[in-house]
Amino acid sequence: MNRLRNAECGFSESWAAGEHVKSEFKNETEMEPEMTNENEKAGKGYQSTNDERLNASSNPHSAFRNPLVVALDVDSPDQALLLVERLRGVAGMLKVGKQLFTAAGPEIVRKIIAMGEHVFLDLKFHDIPNTVAKAGVEAARLGVSVFNVHAMGGSKMMRAVNEAVTETAEHERIARPLILGVTVLTSHTQDSLTEIGIDRKLDDEVVILARLCEAAGLDGVVASPLEIAPVRSAVEDSGFVILTPGVRPAGASLDDQSRVTTPAEAIRAGANFLVIGRPITAESDPAAAARKILEEINQAENRLSGSSGIKKSREE
């Protein structure tokens, strides 16, 4: 899967110490914290960042500074941009989901990218194939690094978005984002699946959907940390990406998640990216909270690799 090789998750060596490393994609000029009425500057920054992303696409080991994806689940662009400013250079990616996207629209994505950060657009597209394909193309044009679709939309829908985005990226010379299939939401339980007419065991359902995503050409899946190992065993592609929500540091509130583990447990199980929100964004010092989690991740990586703490490529 060459598309995956262009954006796989090799991480820079300085993330483990929690340093504010400069991403290869970060703009050389600092964006001012006050972003209102800065559309012209944001536009220029966005173009510069997109050019850098495209030029660096052949160097997969510099694409993301670390596995941590911070969820910007807030209700205003001002709150989001303040968090981005405080987390600049710390998180590997920032997640824009339905709440923030509905409140602030595509412009919030452009501004975050213009600040030198990577965006995971978590809108979980699920519609007829043509509609999802066109939405995916617009996500790619927006400059996001990752977006997702619901695997329950079926293989025809997933193939359509994969083909449309790949063709557009090649034709327009823009970086192709990773496309991930959402398997079973982490809020689901066996009882809630039964309620909507799915009689299979929960982990069996996840595995079936993961195989469907792989067959449709997607780059990976969004799956609970409890299903990482079954997915890894089920798919043939060693570079298949697993992005994992439902991750909580020890002692943190579970909120509305049902199937959760700690960051270290998720990394040891084989996750590529960990999505963590409130345990970071609700803290008085979000950057410090993020660094503490990165230390836990690094310790898990060290035990896995026995050396540098850098996740070894799954391309082998």
pLDDT number for residue 23: 36
pLDDT number for residue 128: 98
Catalytic residue among 95, 111, 124, 311: 124
Q: In this structure, what DSSP letter does residue 308 have? A: S
pLDDT number for residue 11: 54
pLDDT number for residue 63: 77
What superfamily does domain 2-11+36-305 belong to in CATH? Aldolase class I (3.20.20.70)
**Sequence-separated (6 or more) residues with CB below 8 Å from residue 229:** 269, 270
Phi, psi of 189 (to 5 degrees): -125, 175
pLDDT number for residue 168: 98
Q: Which two tokens stand for residue 69?
A: 């994806």
292 an active-site residue?
Answer: no
pLDDT in tens, 163-177: 999 999 999 999 999
Regions of the chain short of the pLDDT cut 70: 1-62, 250-259, 306-316
pLDDT number for residue 42: 35
Phi, psi of 198 (to 5 degrees): -100, 110
Q: Which of 216, 220, 186 shows the shortest CA–CA distance to 8?
A: 220
pLDDT number for residue 39: 35
The backbone region for 314, taken as left when phi is positive above 0, alpha when psi lies in -120 to 50, beta otherwise, is alpha
pLDDT number for residue 305: 74
pLDDT number for residue 41: 39
Residue ranges of alpha helices (H) inside 33-76 are 39-55
pLDDT number for residue 252: 57
pLDDT number for residue 306: 65
Phi, psi of 149 (to 5 degrees): -135, 160
